[in-house]
Chain A
Amino acid sequence: NAGVTQTPKFRVLKTGQSMTLLCAQDMNHEYMYWYRQDPGMGLRLIHYSVGEGTTAKGEVPDGYNVSRLKKQNFLLGLESAAPSQTSVYFCASRPSGTSGGAGNEQFFGPGTRLTVL
């Protein structure tokens, strides 16, 4: 199993350009998440999905859109990139259900390093 994969690994954009980051998982997980990681800030949740066709806002959703058309894929879109969106983006997934014990851990992809000039 490949686990969680992210495409692309690196990208440089100019202000105002758009792009889509792709996350794919082959573990049949229901829940998927997009985070951004900035120096000294830890991970902050952008958007998440609890199943195919569903999405919800996280902590820092402004400037991003997401779609979950297929269970295994979770797309993160930047419609008009800004320098403030320079960051490392991580996708994660986990199974649904469970009430706090084993099964609550998230599985992370390797990240996408995005620079907006």
Chain B
Amino acid sequence: SQQGEEDPQALSIQEGENATMNCSYKTSINNLQWYRQNSGRGLVHLILIRSNEREKHSGRLRVTLDTSKKSSSLLITASRAADTASYFCATGRGSTLGRLYFGRGTQLTVWP
């Protein structure tokens, strides 16, 4: 399966702390994406990293990609209660017409 697998399944931290989520996958990829899902809502795209990139930043988000280990991590710095959500990694291959393969997600809870 090309699905990513997130780790940990659940993460609970205090506001102001950093949150790190990991994603591992099994096959070669073209890009890896992270999405957020608030309870009862649709997924929202956060950040995309190409297979030839190693690190990418967007605001308080930092994503790394290690294609040799087939893994990625998402770091959210200075977490806020509003960051409470499920986070999913999704892998894409250029030949599969935009299909994405989603992991099971990490449930992040940020306590005020």
CB neighbours (8 Å) of B100 from chain A are: 45, 106
The distance from the CB of B74 to the nearest CB of chain A, in whole angstroms, is: 15
Q: CB within 8 A of B43: which of A44, A90, A94?
A: A90
Number of interface residues of A (CB under 8 A): 30
> A27-70 interface mask toward B, CB cutoff 8 Å, 1 = contact, 0 = none?
00001010100001111110010100000101000000000000
Contacts of B92 in A (CB 8 A): 100, 104
Query: Cβ of A108 < 8 Å from any Cβ of B?
Result: yes
Q: Verify if A16 is at the interface (C-beta below 8 Å from B).
A: no
| B99 and A99 contacting across the interface, CB-CB below 8 Å | no
Q: What is the chain A residue whose CB lies nearest that of B2? A: A59
Contact A111 B105 (CB under 8 A): no
By a CB distance below 8 angstroms, the chain A residues around B41 are 110-111
Q: Are B48 and A43 in contact (CB under 8 A)?
A: no
Assess whether B62 is interfacial by the CB under 8 Å rule.
no
A101 lies within 8 A of B48 (CB): yes
Q: How far is the CA of A31 from the CA of B97 in the complex (A)?
A: 8
C-alpha gap A66/B103 in the complex (Å): 24
Contact A45–B31 (Cβ < 8 Å): no
A79 within 8 A of partner (CB): no
Some 21 contacts from A to B, beta carbons below 8 A apart, are A31-B97, A31-B98, A33-B99, A41-B104, A42-B105, A45-B99, A48-B97, A48-B98, A48-B99, A50-B97, A50-B98, A56-B97, A94-B98, A99-B94, A100-B50, A100-B94, A105-B48, A106-B45, A107-B45, A108-B42, A108-B43
